[in-house]
Amino acid sequence: MSKVGVGLFSDIGKTAREILYKDYNYDRKFSITTQASDGLALTSTALQKGKHTVGDVAALYRYKNAAIDVKVDTQSNIDTRVTLTDVLPSVKTIASIKLPDMNSAKVEVQYFHEHATIGSSLSLRNPPIFDISATCGTATTVFGVEAAYNSSIGNFTKYNAGISMMEPGFCTTLTLADKGDLLTASYVRYLDQLKATTAVEFTNRFSEDGNTLTVGGSYNFDESTLIKLKLNNQGNFGVLLQNEIKPKTLLTMAAEFDYNSIDTSPKIGVSLALRP
């Protein structure tokens, strides 16, 4: 089932977040994926964080309207996720658990409609936590809310709201999160026949002094090369270069500099992903 309509609440502001933050990884990462003819995909990942190296092996199996995703890491965690689509029309069901933490078990149900989407999840811990979100609107304007209720304290632990306005050349979003304490506004502009994209994000936490303004963009030089830049008023400048060095082999290099502290070493990361 492909998603239709207005999307989930988490999709509000997603475009700006992907431009400004996606793939900005400052570690050393290597992953290789193999694909079998029966729908089974295996991915092995090694990640170096400072002097420590961690890794995981993930298996994804798809059959008709079901997908089973299992990941085992070097810390002996087993992350399992089962997704069923169209068991009922326009409904997706997701069950997940991360062992050995039994309290991590969760069931999610998502309903997609042309002008409304509802998502709900129930943690199977004792006592349970219930999370629900809803969006409604049209192809150009979307309103959304989400909330979480903790039955152990009998109170809402989360309530957020957001709005997104989209036109062919731009997208504007405004969200109020963390019980009204965090305001986030973003603006995305598409340029040069979609080869170039710019994004601006402003965040302000009312309980603290100061705010953060981040500007950035991406540019596709050709079908295989992408460059991204970002800068914020806290003194951080980031650059990313992503290149498909050969079919299905993706090399990503990212760096971040603090121009307020020239004595600080820049953060540099390299990622290489091999896919069949």
In a domain, 69, yes or no: yes
What does each of the 276 residues of the chain score in pLDDT, given as a tens digit? Answer: 544 568 899 999 999 999 999 999 999 999 999 988 777 999 999 988 877 889 999 999 998 899 999 999 988 899 999 999 988 889 999 999 999 988 889 999 999 988 999 999 999 887 888 999 999 999 899 999 999 988 877 788 889 999 999 988 899 999 999 999 999 999 999 987 678 999 999 999 999 888 999 999 999 988 899 999 999 999 999 999 999 998 889 999 999 999 887 778 889 999 999 987
Positive or negative torsion for Cα 134, 10, 168, 173: positive
Q: Which stretches does DSSP call E strand in 125-224?
A: 129-137, 141-150, 155-167, 170-177, 182-191, 196-205, 211-220
Query: Where in the sequence is the domain holding 231, given as residue range(s)?
Result: 9-274
In a domain, 4, yes or no: no
DSSP-assigned beta bridge partners for residue 165: 141, 172
- Total domains, the chain: 1
In a domain, 3, yes or no: no
In a domain, 2, yes or no: no
Cα atoms in the 13 Å half-sphere on the side-chain side of 118: 5
In a domain, 224, yes or no: yes
Q: What is the pLDDT of residues 171-225, one digit of tens each?
A: 999 999 999 999 999 999 998 767 899 999 999 999 988 899 999 999 998 889 9
CB atoms within 10 A of CB 168: 7
In a domain, 13, yes or no: yes
In a domain, 1, yes or no: no
Q: What is the pLDDT of residues 31-40, one digit of tens each?
A: 999 988 777 9
Take residue 87 and report the two structure tokens written for it: 């068991």
In a domain, 16, yes or no: yes
The whole model's pTM is what?
Answer: 0.88
What is the pLDDT at residue 4? 57
Averaged confidence pLDDT in the chain: 91
Question: CATH no. for residue 69?
Answer: 2.40.160.10
